[in-house]
Amino acid sequence: MNIQLALDRMSIQEAIDMARWTEPYIDWIEVGTSLIKEFGMASVEAMKREFPGKVIVADVKTFDNAIYEFELCYRAGADVATVMGASPPVTVDLCIKTARTWGRQVMIDLLHTTPEEQAALARYREAVHCRHVSKDQQENGTHLTGTGAYGNAPGTGDALTGNRRAAPSGAPGSASVSPAELRIAAAGGIILDSLPGLLAMKPEVIIVGSSITKAADPVAAARSFQDCIRKLGRR
């Protein structure tokens, strides 16, 4: 499992400093949506310039205008760019094709997708499929427990993906693809105690934000995540 450090709601320099402090314990660096919205592609360029050996993720959350936005990310140095799985199918398809042209990667954010939509997206086996609890869900309605934001919130469907309940179990077209068949990432409210429960998904990427960036000692927090993942991996 790779640790992806999510950097949001800070300046570019603060993001660089945070990544520098925790660099020995993280694998992927996410230039968060808030950084991109506030500072544009300069934030992606700066992160790739400072950390050329790390996988840089531009969390642009594309919903339309796929080719233009993904080329912006890749031109700025991103290794991975994100598209919302709930966007029009043509948008996801164009993101995948653009990534292939550039020799880069796509992360599909499954936030607020139905089981049917996830099944359709599963044809993109080369993409990383991100199961995501949104910030708003974490702060305004999704019940958080000691294992993180991975319970069901009434009316919201699966809190891990933010799914809409479009069809009951067993209904035609509602079959989902086994996570074992896909490259999986998990994001949203992840704490150390979340990690054992996430192993069942066999995630390739664990995305951690405030549990590291808002910790009293971010370096110690990042080290703890790395140590825990290594111990779990040896079981």
Q: In which band, very low, low, confident or very high, does the pLDDT at 138 lie, cut at 50, 70 and 90?
A: low
Dihedral sign, CA of 180, 182, 188, 190? positive
Which tokens sit at 115? 């089981």
- Determine the Cα–Cα distance for residues 83 and 151; give it in Å rounded to an integer: 25
pLDDT > 50? residue 7: yes
From the list 98, 94, 80, 102, the residue with the least C-alpha distance to 187 is 80
Mean pLDDT, range 2-9, rounded to an integer:
97
Mean pLDDT, range 218-228, rounded to an integer:
97
Minimum mean pLDDT range among 43-47, 103-107, 152-156, 219-223:
152-156
Q: In which band, very low, low, confident or very high, does the pLDDT at 233 lie, cut at 50, 70 and 90?
A: confident
pLDDT, tens only, 159-185: 444 444 443 333 333 344 555 589 999
Query: Is 114 in a helix, a strand, or coil?
Result: coil
Q: Angle of helix 41-50 relative to helix 12-22, nearest 10 degrees?
A: 30
CA angle 233, 23, 111 (to 5 degrees): 65
141: Cβ contacts below 8 Å, ≥ 6 apart: 153, 156
pLDDT > 70? residue 54: yes
pLDDT, tens only, 114-123: 999 999 999 9
108 neighbors 85 (Cβ within 8 angstroms): yes
DSSP class of residue 143 equals P
Specify whether the backbone of 86 is left (phi greater than 0), alpha (psi in -120 to 50) or beta.
alpha
Helix (H) or strand (E) holding 113: none
Q: In which band, very low, low, confident or very high, does the pLDDT at 135 lie, cut at 50, 70 and 90?
A: low
Minimum mean pLDDT range among 55-59, 74-78, 111-115, 130-134:
130-134
- CATH 3.40.190.10 corresponds to the domain 2-166+177-202: no
Mean pLDDT, range 121-145, rounded to an integer:
74
Q: Domain coordinates of the chain in residue numbers? A: 2-166+177-202
